[in-house]
Amino acid sequence: MSNNWHAYILKCKDGTFYTGISNDLKSRIKQHNLGNGAKYTRGRGPVKLVYSEQCADRSTALKREAEIKKLTRSQKKNLL
């Protein structure tokens, strides 16, 4: 685990997007793909990381996650 926090977007196999945060992105994606991640991604795997951005700390990552979640699908696609 590192101190580098990330806000990230996953694309699920059904084409939907999931946004989250982590300080160990590789491990978190593995959890999602094993069905141990967020409830939303269970049954929607495998998931693929399509976007991530490094954040200064957990608080900043949480704020960025909230901003991303408010975006429309097309705005998220533009971000990618």
**Residue ranges with strand state E in the chain:** 5-11, 17-22, 48-55
Q: What is the CATH number of the domain that holds 14?
A: 3.40.1440.10
* Model pLDDT, residue 31: 94
Type of residue numbered 68: I
Q: What confidence score (pLDDT) does residue 2 get? A: 58
pLDDT one-digit tens code per residue, 35-79: 998 999 998 989 999 999 999 999 999 999 999 999 999 999 999
Cα–Cα distance for residue pair 7/52, rounded to 1 Å: 6
Q: In which domain, by residue range, is 17 found?
A: 5-79
Beta bridge partners of 8: 20, 52
Q: Is residue 1 over pLDDT 60?
A: no
Q: How many domains does the chain have?
A: 1
For residue 40 the two structure tokens come to 């939303």
Q: Among residues 10, 30, 12, 11, which one has the least CA distance to residue 21?
A: 10
23 vs 42: CA distance, rounded Å: 21
